[in-house]
Amino acid sequence: MAGRVPKSRVARGGKLGRLAAEQAVRGAGTRISMIGRSDRARAILAERSTMQAAEQLVMVLGTMKGAAMKIGQMLSVLDLDLIPESHREVFREKLAALRDQAPAAPFSAMRKVIETDLGPLRGVFRDFDESAIAAASVGQVYRATLRDGRAVAVKVQYPGVDDAIRADMRNLKFFGKLAAPFWPTLKDNSIFDEIARNLESELDYEAEARTQHAVSQRYQGHPFITIPDSVVEHSSPHVLVTEFFDGMPFDRMRALPKADRNHIGELIYRFYIGSMFSHNEFCGDPHPGNVLVGADGMVAFIDFGLYNRMDPVNVDFERALLRAACEEDADELYRLMVGRGIVDPTSNVIPAECLDYLRSAAGWHLLDEPLTITPELATGALILAIDPRASAAQFTGIRRQQLPAEHVFSRRADFFTFGVLGQLNSTNNWHRIAREWAYGDPPATDIGRAIAEWRTATGNH
């Protein structure tokens, strides 16, 4: 069966040999599809109706509180040069405001939140800087020193942010009704339900502290990645205390030499995408503000409010889809998608359409050659994903099908990882890395080999 992983070296070698004869044709087709995204996205964004819907989106987000920053962070991966010049500056101004927006809360109000949960400030902290160093989507971050001398970051929820988020979700659903004539994908309320579930999970700081501690322990001694540990004993429902990591922010990473950006990009790819296949769980919030680089070159990942754990059965399904797409096995893809309920067997969707759509949606994993991911490429992917008019007519049927809820979160993480790598202009043969978790191939990069040695030495699999 096409979905079964060949286990013996000979069998796997034979399969690769058969695939090699077709690789050049497949690679060319995928490459053309990837490059063509930007041109098709420009054409869609040039349409007046699409611009009206996009303007409504920005306007509605501008009225929001807790969720607006989160969605502003998501939109920060977009390349606004694709937007017609006549509208571009307005979009830049409005999206900049969304990214910077935070509910106005003086330190006196935030201190009250801390002391309600933890008791008097001086009982926990030796020093506490009252000026926030960062604004998260549902809270503000401060720098402090614990009584035992540890430097920590303290994330404090805005008072009333839970009510604000519920109001935000009502606004978003209202926007979905307004925009549906322009972007039919938004008719599906499950999109907004998924956002609501994720935002609700971000409000549970105690759960986030436990998650971050577990992930930090998993990455102890890793050759390239570090996760600042949480201080579970001083975290509470509305206050999250973690080790302070003094690192280079993403904007400075973008100015690094190409080799350094490629190095960081591979680690971002492995952390956000590879974790799902290695551990059946992953951080679902890839965006530039959650990646830092230390003076020693270690790459740190922060913010574990949106963390997803998947049933291994669902991870195996995603692995099987990836393998079938790699092998151009349209019949196997169709069988898998019908079996999972993604495709209605009574619809007019055919196997070739499933394959074309997977190549369009996941082409960067499939192209067996170095690919530089750009903001333009990532933006084109988003527009093609949410607007049926942006794709060829043969996708009309499959876009009416329904992605099960258990896979929505992983697809979101996949797209936003693509966006972050686009902001970094990172280059790699992403397909060769993906084969490690699709087929169990040996690592094809120096980073992969070093990680494999660390796993073998520590038993961390």
Q: What is the pLDDT of residue 379?
A: 74
Residues 437 and 454 in one domain: yes
- Is the pLDDT assigned to residue 185 strictly greater than 80? no
> Which of 141, 173, 201 is the last residue in one of the domains?
201
Which residues, at least 6 apart from 278, have a Cβ–Cβ distance to it below 8 Å?
437, 461
Confirm whether 290 is domain-assigned. no
Confirm whether 313 is domain-assigned. yes
Residues 326 and 376 in one domain: yes
Which residues, at least 6 apart from 128, have a Cβ–Cβ distance to it below 8 Å?
121, 142, 144, 145, 154
Q: Which residues pair with 146 in a beta bridge?
A: 125
Q: Beta strands 239-243 and 307-309: pairing type?
A: unpaired
Confirm whether 274 is domain-assigned. no
Q: What share of the chain is helix, strand, coil (3-state, %, to 5)?
A: 60, 10, 30
Residues 259-286 have a mean pLDDT of 95
Q: What is the pLDDT of residue 375?
A: 82
Question: Tokens 């999972």 correspond to what residue?
Answer: 340
Confirm whether 61 is domain-assigned. yes
- Is the pLDDT assigned to residue 393 strictly greater than 60? no
> Bigger pLDDT: 11 or 172?
172
Q: Beta strands 151-157 and 225-226: pairing type?
A: unpaired
The span from the CA of 275 to the CA of 435, in Å, is 14
What is 211-273 written as a DSSP string? HHHHHHHHTTT-SSEE-PPB-GGG--SSEEEEE----B-HHHHTTS-HHHHHHHHHHHHIIII
Q: Could you read off the pLDDT of 372-388 as tens digits, one per residue? A: 998 878 777 766 665 54
The span from the CA of 265 to the CA of 35, in Å, is 20
- CATH number where 215 lies: 3.30.200.20
141 three-state secondary structure: strand
Residues 236-252 have a mean pLDDT of 95
Residues 30 and 111 in one domain: no
Nearest to 300, CA basis, from 416, 216, 205: 216
Residues 366 and 398 in one domain: yes
Residues 144 and 220 in one domain: yes
Which residues, at least 6 apart from 106, have a Cβ–Cβ distance to it below 8 Å?
none
The span from the CA of 286 to the CA of 373, in Å, is 15
Residues 321-332 have a mean pLDDT of 93
- Is the pLDDT assigned to residue 417 strictly greater than 70? yes
Residues 70 and 192 in one domain: yes
The span from the CA of 69 to the CA of 98, in Å, is 6
- Predicted confidence band of residue 1 (pLDDT cuts 50, 70, 90): very low
**pTM for this prediction:** 0.81
The span from the CA of 192 to the CA of 199, in Å, is 10
Q: What is the pLDDT of residue 362?
A: 81
- Is the pLDDT assigned to residue 286 strictly greater than 80? yes
Confirm whether 268 is domain-assigned. no
Nearest to 83, CA basis, from 52, 46, 36: 46
Q: Is residue 121 within 8 Å of residue 128, measured between CB atoms?
A: yes
- Total domain count, the chain: 3
Residues 75 and 184 in one domain: yes
Nearest to 363, CA basis, from 373, 353, 352: 373
The span from the CA of 299 to the CA of 245, in Å, is 10
Q: What would you report as the CA-atom Rg of the chain, rounded to the nearest whole angstrom? A: 23
Token duo for residue 449: 């080999």
Residues 98 and 108 in one domain: no
Percent of the chain with pLDDT over 90: 45
The span from the CA of 379 to the CA of 385, in Å, is 10
* Amino acid letter, residue 411: R
> Which of 138, 173, 201 is the last residue in one of the domains?
201
Q: Which residues pair with 430 in a beta bridge?
A: none
Helices then strands, each counted (H, E), the chain: 19, 12
- Predicted confidence band of residue 73 (pLDDT cuts 50, 70, 90): low
Residues 415 and 348 in one domain: yes
- Is the pLDDT assigned to residue 168 strictly greater than 60? yes
Q: What is the pLDDT of residue 216?
A: 97
Confirm whether 296 is domain-assigned. no
- Predicted confidence band of residue 37 (pLDDT cuts 50, 70, 90): low
Residues 93 and 210 in one domain: no
Token duo for residue 383: 């527009």
Q: What is the pLDDT of residue 221?
A: 96
Residues 111 and 148 in one domain: yes
Q: Could you read off the pLDDT of 81-139 as tens digits, one per residue? A: 556 666 666 666 666 555 555 555 789 999 999 999 999 999 999 999 999 998 777 88
Using alpha carbons only, what angle is made at residue 435 by residues 440 and 421, rounded to the nearest 5 degrees? Answer: 135
The span from the CA of 156 to the CA of 138, in Å, is 8
> Which of 190, 221, 244 is the last residue in one of the domains?
244
Domain with 239 in it: 104-157+204-244
Q: Which residues pair with 152 in a beta bridge?
A: 144, 243
Q: Could you read off the pLDDT of 213-228 as tens digits, one per residue? A: 999 999 999 999 999 9
Confirm whether 38 is domain-assigned. yes
- Averaged pLDDT of the chain: 79
- Predicted confidence band of residue 407 (pLDDT cuts 50, 70, 90): confident
* Amino acid letter, residue 99: R
Token duo for residue 201: 């999970």
Token duo for residue 396: 């009309």
Confirm whether 303 is domain-assigned. no
Residue 180 has phi, psi (to 5 degrees) of: -55, -40
Q: What is the pLDDT of residue 163?
A: 79
Residues 25-47 have a mean pLDDT of 57
End-to-end CA distance of the chain: 27
The span from the CA of 286 to the CA of 424, in Å, is 13
Q: Could you read off the pLDDT of 287-301 as tens digits, one per residue? A: 888 999 999 999 999
Residues 135 and 165 in one domain: no
Residue 5 has phi, psi (to 5 degrees) of: -80, 125
What is 409-444 written as a DSSP string? HHHHHHHHHHHHHHHHT-EE-HHHHHHHHHH-PPP-
Q: What is the pLDDT of residue 247?
A: 95
